Amino acid sequence: MKSALVTGANKGIGFEVARQLAQKGMYVYLGSRQVENGLEAIDQLKAEGINNVEAIQLDITNEESVKEARIEIGKKTKSLDILINNAGIYGGYPQSAFDATIEQFKEAYNVNVYGVVRVTQAFIDLLKKSSEPRIVNVSSSQGSITLHSDPSYKYYDYKGVVYLSSKAALNMYTVVLAYELKDTNFKINAVCPGYTKTDFNGHRGPGSVEDAGKRIVKYALMDRDGPTGKFFSEENNPETGEIPW
């Protein structure tokens, strides 16, 4: 059975991605920083008849927690096929270029950027043992510098400097990681789930977690002819999905 690790999987989009991957036959490790929230998520999936899931304590801002999670998963599997770097935060308010505080930047980058780096670096050896390793970095079209410079972009006026810049940094990490693994069987992409109804935005997003989950799972299950080092947002490009960095 192939295996997957999803960060921030106790709720929202990450939980749905874990559910969909498990429904497609993966053995899924649901990362959650609070053990009890992870266990609750597992109970919910088991109540739906989904048993190929397991909770793993994983606070992506904490080196020890990431290290422990790698050791725990390493005891259970010799390879990891899919890593979904989903956990993310908005970074609080204000988000104006004038007023956002350095503390806000540090906190958001610690999850959205350094957290992804920590987890990716910790699990890359297990991923390299997979015959078809896939990494999806859950980004946002909001991290596209090109779109945010275009007044016709639908979220042009939704400028939050802390969050947007953290996702732009995540995007560049994705590009460089994909470049460094370009001569391998890895497929590594940044995917925007679309503006989705979750706690993240006080449930203001119009999209469903089901659709958001499908958009991410699609790139987690890409075959060997699939893209790597690209940025996708079906919400912003329903035709090919690809959007500019």
Q: Which of 27, 29, 163, 219 is catalytic?
A: 163
Q: Residue 3 or 85: which CB sits closer to ligand NAP?
A: 85
Q: How many residues bind ligand NAP (CB under 6 A)?
A: 31
- Nearest-CA neighbor of 161 among 142, 185, 133? 142
Dist CA 19 CA 14 (whole Å): 9
By the rule CB under 6 A, 153 interacts with ligand NAP: no
- Nearest-CA neighbor of 209 among 19, 4, 50? 19
Looking only at residues 94 through 113 of this chain, which bind ligand NAP when binding is defined by CB under 6 A? 111
For every residue of 117-155, DSSP letters joined together read HHHHHHHHHHHHTSSS-EEEEE--GGG-HHHHT-TTSTT
163 included as an active-site residue = yes
By the rule CB under 6 A, 140 interacts with ligand NAP: yes
Kindly write out the interface string for residues 22-41 of this chain, putting x where it contacts ligand NAP by CB under 6 A and - elsewhere. Answer: -----------xx--x----
Candidate segments 21-29, 71-79, 195-203, 220-228, binder of ligand NAP by CB under 6 A: 195-203
SS3 content of the chain, % helix, strand, coil (to 5): 45, 15, 40
Per the CB < 8 A criterion, the answer to whether 200 and 157 are in contact is no
Minimum distance of ligand NAP from residue 155's CB (angstroms): 10
Helix H or strand E segment including 37: helix 35-47
When binding is defined by CB under 6 A, the residue of 5, 6, 13, 126 that contacts ligand NAP is 13
Q: Given the structure tokens 């991290």, which residue do they identify?
A: 143
Q: Could you give phi then psi for residue 20, rounded to 5 degrees?
A: -65, -40
By the rule CB under 6 A, 61 interacts with ligand NAP: yes
By the rule CB under 6 A, 199 interacts with ligand NAP: yes
- Give the residues lining the site for ligand NAP (CB under 6 A): 7-8, 10-14, 33-34, 37, 58-61, 86-89, 111, 115, 138, 140, 192-193, 195-196, 198-201, 205
Active site residues: 163
